[in-house]
Amino acid sequence: MLTDEELRELYQEVILDHQADPRNFGSLVAATHKADGHNPLCGDRVHVAVQQEDGVIKDIAFTGEGCAISTASASLMTETLKGKSIQDAEAVMSRFLELVTGKLDGASDLGDLQVLAGVREFPARVKCATLAWHTLESAIHQDHQPNEKEKQCRIS
Residue 67 binding Zn ion, by CB under 5 A: yes
Please state the closest distance from residue 33 (CB atom) to Zn ion, in A.
24
92 touches 76 (CB < 8 A): no
Please state the closest distance from residue 68 (CB atom) to Zn ion, in A.
8
Binding segment (CB under 5 A) for Zn ion, from list 22-30, 49-57, 123-131, 134-142 = 123-131
Identify the CA nearest to 70 among candidates 30, 25, 28.
25
Q: Which of 7, 14, 31, 42 binds Zn ion (CB under 5 A)?
A: 42
Residue 132 binding Zn ion, by CB under 5 A: no
- Of the pair 64, 99, the CB lying nearest Zn ion is at 64
24: left (phi over 0), alpha (psi -120 to 50) or beta: left
Contacts 24+ apart (CB under 8 A), 149-155: 151/37, 151/38, 155/37, 155/38, 155/39, 155/40, 155/127, 155/130, 155/131
- Of the pair 42, 104, the CB lying nearest Zn ion is at 42
The three-class DSSP label of residue 23 is coil
Residue 70 binding Zn ion, by CB under 5 A: yes
Residues that bind Zn ion (CB under 5 A): 42, 44, 67, 70, 128
